[in-house]
Structure 1
């Protein structure tokens, strides 16, 4: 793999990293003021920066072995908007060499948020930007909205900026209050790649957000976070009824999961998958097959699709010390389409 020095003929002035994340409970609630329960994964994205003395940014992805050149102040195409969005929002007026390498698989593990947070961390160091870790995450959300075209919530960037691998991070996405929550005793997390690629801007993500916003309007509330009696959503027309039912029930599952043992927590994860599959309609048949295989394994407490959906990764809560063996056994049956990401 080509290094920064080999690619640009200089050493990077700054280098920064940020992790991907996996969400245990609380999917598609963060843009309705809800509760989420992610954790960081060990895999990180690393970004190096160096001034190049020109009016053009040179962006190099080591994973793709691809170089993009984008004039300062413009956005560009391909993977450029994730980077140029960060540069433009941070007021960069000079050309930079940008080198990216990542261990975070795409699809459900917030690879884009990890890229944004790593880039913003590097910019904060290079230019002495007055951004705390929460403000930095919120700037990453702005990048998604204004430059990438995905109307995401705040969970992914907050998790990449604030979470660790030792605990889950409960985030109230309305107030941004947060606290560390221990994993259920006797359990560990397993993440598998379903092998089904997806792209959020081309999927139904923005459509789902529009549907739940309309549901909230019809119910006369600011956000579905404010609905505590799930029966009131049954008066909505389909598919708004189903979309709202997922969000309201998912918020309740997060709160129940805070004190749950491994068996109960796993059951909540199973219920989340059913809700994402049936009410929110963001799963995929192959993903469902992988989840079923996991749920049937005797060392698995629960399993579900994770991330925005439409493909990507699945997450399971498994008996402590069994993640690698469970992953190997399940993927052998599944057809070796994925790989163990986090044992």
Structure 2
């Protein structure tokens, strides 16, 4: 149902934010490292107006779910991200009660940052409605606070930064320690393919927060502020499984740095190495994802493929020869789904 059908009038303002796919740099963002995401065409759209009855009215067109809440109420499900974003903004400005309508074609639970897109779209809409003067980085940092404090996921800053400032035409090189960033072109002659494995996960219920705690424990043992400061030689000083977690982060940061000057062929090899590290050292993959990645890596038009997003299910990303993405998807999904998978094409649409 539309905003008009739910609230009886047209919205005052409509804003959107994209999902993202991460090409390299997984689980490095909360470790002060480097990431290399790009925005995807799919977006979350938020339409808003001021509520006249003192309550926030939040409606998801995709879930066909409505929640009517006081500002200090107890939102559930998707509304945690929406009202959480409003409530972190309240620390900066007076925010009136709102009517909020959400629609999205960013797949949920697939590792494409549907939650970050929702948070950024909500904050962007309120920023423009009230002329708060927030820039893209401000919006990303507030969205991250909403995820931490209201969704219970202690995420890094990559997802929100990618949704707020990235481009679908370029890669965003982001230093998550300083927030220095640069848009750089994708390897010439190649395009990005994203397939959903069909294996759903929710970060608050996965091993995400456990992995973050393991990285913090490794830093405590090594006496450093973040794993960005660690060297490969430090890995031997750590007990299992902290040694494996640290090795993934250290080598993943190195892969991002190497990718900046790599040939397309080497870029693909780095993606393959990244997947193996996510699977074996970080233990954050999934049997269905591994099977899909294996099929992608075996295809003649694929340079490299890996799990993308935090893990434990979700999507795979591949670098493929330009003009071949849909055919590669058809080839790979035919075999994957015939073997019992539930994969589907996400990008290109």
TM-score, normalised with respect to structure 1: 0.98
Return the alpha-carbon distance in structure 1 between the equivalents of residues 68 and 272 of structure 2. Answer: 45
Partner SS, residue 76 of structure 2: coil
Equivalent pair of 1:74/1:84 in contact (CA under 8 Å): no
Return the alpha-carbon distance in structure 1 between the equivalents of residues 158 and 16 of structure 2. Answer: 18
Return the alpha-carbon distance in structure 2 between the equivalents of residues 63 and 326 of structure 1. Answer: 29
Alignment partner, residue 339 of structure 1: 344
Task: Give the C-alpha shift of residue 93 in structure 1.
Answer: 4.8
> Which of residues 247, 250, 253 in structure 2 aligns to 1:248?
250
Partner SS, residue 206 of structure 1: helix
Say yes or no: does 1:312 pair with 2:314.
yes
Return the alpha-carbon distance in structure 2 between the equivalents of residues 302 and 317 of structure 1. Answer: 6
Q: Which aligned pairs between 1:195-206 and structure 2 lie closer than 5 A?
A: 195-206=198-209
Return the alpha-carbon distance in structure 2 between the equivalents of residues 16 and 217 of structure 1. Answer: 42
TM-score, normalised with respect to structure 2: 0.96
Return the alpha-carbon distance in structure 2 between the equivalents of residues 93 and 184 of structure 1. Answer: 44
Task: Give the C-alpha shift of residue 269 in structure 1.
Answer: 0.3
Q: Which aligned pairs between 1:133-144 and structure 2 lie closer than 5 A?
A: 133-144=136-147
> Which of residues 282, 302, 305 in structure 1 aligns to 2:304?
302
Return the alpha-carbon distance in structure 2 between the equivalents of residues 284 and 80 of structure 1. Answer: 28
Q: Which aligned pairs between 1:209-228 and structure 2 lie closer than 5 A?
A: 209-227=212-230
Q: Which aligned pairs between 1:1-343 and structure 2 lie closer than 5 A?
A: 2-91=1-90, 93-106=95-108, 107-227=110-230, 229-335=231-337, 337-343=342-348
* Long gaps (5+) in structure 1: none
Task: Give the C-alpha shift of residue 94 in structure 1.
Answer: 3.3
Deviates more, 1:71-80 or 1:164-173: 71-80
Task: Give the C-alpha shift of residue 75 in structure 1.
Answer: 3.8
Structure 1: 4+ residue segments shifted above 4 A:
none
Partner SS, residue 201 of structure 2: coil
* Long gaps (5+) in structure 2: none
